């Protein structure tokens, strides 16, 4: 079912970003009408062209900073959405350590503004982009939503933990909003059409774009940050979730909120595959899936890295009737197709 002019509108802040743009596709395929709000500080306008190619139509986009109160108010006034998916945030872990105030100001003010405007315009449904980073290095694995959050490893991670608490406390104080915070694990991959994908600006911090840029000859080689961890091959373990599966999880979360049958008005849900993969196995799987060799060398550990983290996703299956469907190989093949398109 695709959206029509009478489809319910959903504001998607950061909707031109990696996860946001893929969620826009899933929203339209599910019969919603997404309205993108993006200041393009960490995304490119070419994403809108990619979306038009995939969807065969334009998506409304406001080139606006979601901290701009006047602009946001007029968008709520004009579009009359039934929900908001809030992706917009600065998300570079290293940068957040160097510029913490920029992160606290941007990431928290935008959320606080939404929590004021949503009741004012009677918009009850909020899906919040959170992160597994709130778990730090958990004591036991896989992590469930009851696993205690540990002190954030970075100001970026702290803005996600504080964001969750802001929403929780607002709901407890009867602010008329129902919210689900989705704790993403490691998003990877690209839309199978290779029309949209991950667009890291500058040198990629994350593993998979570094692998694909190395495979494309853009980077001379990949450094594997440490092989002396307590894991099967000594390299760190993560839960790599396909961006299309992640996008679908947002649609399921929105539907759950709209159904109104939520036990409480706020909840957190892990969105991962439930499988842990080592760095070396990601490299090996990429080479097997694409037939392209990756030049890498083992280097020192990266400060701040947790040794292993992966999700228990039983709550997502139970509450959202959702589970990840795409394999690591499929995600890496799609990421490689996208890299070849933009190289």
Q: Which residues are catalytic?
A: 156
What counts of helices (H) and strands (E) characterise the chain?
11, 13
The angle that helices 328-342 and 207-215 make with each other, rounded to 10 degrees, is: 50
> Which residues, 276 to 295, sit near ligand WQD by CB under 6 A?
279
Q: Which part of the chain contacts ligand WQD (CB under 6 A), choosing from 64-72, 117-125, 219-227, 245-253?
A: 219-227
Interface with ligand WQD, residue 206, by CB under 6 A: yes
For residues 282 and 207, is the Cβ–Cβ distance under 8 A?
yes
What is the Cα–Cα distance from 201 to 217, expressed in whole angstroms?
17
The radius of gyration computed from the CA coordinates of the chain, to the nearest angstrom, equals: 19
Residue 305 interacts with ligand WQD (CB under 6 A)?
A: yes
Place of tokens 């928290």: 108
Rule CB under 6 A: say whether 186 interacts with ligand WQD.
yes
Query: From the CB of 261, what's the least distance to ligand WQD, in Å?
Result: 29
328 contributes a contact to ligand WQD by CB under 6 A: no
Q: Which stretch binds ligand WQD (CB under 6 A): 64-72, 221-229, 262-270, 285-293?
A: 221-229
> Is 225 an interacting residue with respect to ligand WQD (CB under 6 A)?
yes
**Three-state DSSP class for 214?**
helix
Site for ligand WQD in 12-31 (CB under 6 A): none
φ, ψ for residue 37 (rounded to 5)?
-125, 115
- If binding is defined by CB under 6 A, does position 194 make contact with ligand WQD? no
Per-residue b/e over 295-323, b at no fewer than 16 CB within 10 Å?
A: ebeeeeeeeeebebbbbbbebbeebbebb
Check residue 241 for interaction with ligand WQD (CB under 6 A). no
C-beta nearest to ligand WQD: residue:
236
Q: Is residue 143 within the footprint of ligand WQD (CB under 6 A)?
A: no
Is residue 205 a contact point for ligand WQD (CB under 6 A)?
A: yes
Token digits of residue 328: 């690591």
Residue from 222, 243, 289, 311 that binds ligand WQD (CB under 6 A)?
222
Residue 120 CA to residue 116 CA, distance in Å, equals 7
Q: Which residues bind ligand WQD (CB under 6 A)?
A: 91, 93, 131, 133, 184, 186, 205-207, 210, 222-225, 236, 238, 279, 302, 305
């Amino acid at each position: 079912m695709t959206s029509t002019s009478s489809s319910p509108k959903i504001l998607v802040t950061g909707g031109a970003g990696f996860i946001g743009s893929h969620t826009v596709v899933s929203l339209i395929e599910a019969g919603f009408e997404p309205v993108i709000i993006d200041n393009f500080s960490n995304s490119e306008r070419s994403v809108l062209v990619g979306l038009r190619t995939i969807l065969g139509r334009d998506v409304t986009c406001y080139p606006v900073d979601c901290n701009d109160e006047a602009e946001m108010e007029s968008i709520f006034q004009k579009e009359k959405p039934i929900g908001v998916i809030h992706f917009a945030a600065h998300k570079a872990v290293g940068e957040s350590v160097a510029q913490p105030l920029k992160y606290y100001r941007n990431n928290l003010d935008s959320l606080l503004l939404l929590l004021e405007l949503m009741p004012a315009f009677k918009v009850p449904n909020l899906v919040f982009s959170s992160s597994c980073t709130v778990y730090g290095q958990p004591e036991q694995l896989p992590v469930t939503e009851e696993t205690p959050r540990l002190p954030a490893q970075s100001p970026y991670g702290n803005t996600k933990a504080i964001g969750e608490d802001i929403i929780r406390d607002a709901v407890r104080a009867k602010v008329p909003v129902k919210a689900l915070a989705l704790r993403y694990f490691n998003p990877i991959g690209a839309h199978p059409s290779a029309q949209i994908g991950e667009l890291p600006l500058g040198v990629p911090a994350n593993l998979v774009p570094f692998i694909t840029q190395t495979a494309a000859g853009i980077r001379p080689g990949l450094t594997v940050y440490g092989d002396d961890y307590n894991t099967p091959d000594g390299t760190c373990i993560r839960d790599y979730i396909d961006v299309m599966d992640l996008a679908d999880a947002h649609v399921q979360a929105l539907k759950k909120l709209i159904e109104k049958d939520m036990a409480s008005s706020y909840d957190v849900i892990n969105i991962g595959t439930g499988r842990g993969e080592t760095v070396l196995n990601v490299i090996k799987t990429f080479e097997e899936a694409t037939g392209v060799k990756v030049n890498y060398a083992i280097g020192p550990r990266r400060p701040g890295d947790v040794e292993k983290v992966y999700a228990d996703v039983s709550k997502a299956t139970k509450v959202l009737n959702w589970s990840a469907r795409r394999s690591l190989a499929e995600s890496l093949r799609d990421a490689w197709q996208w890299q070849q398109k933009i190289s």
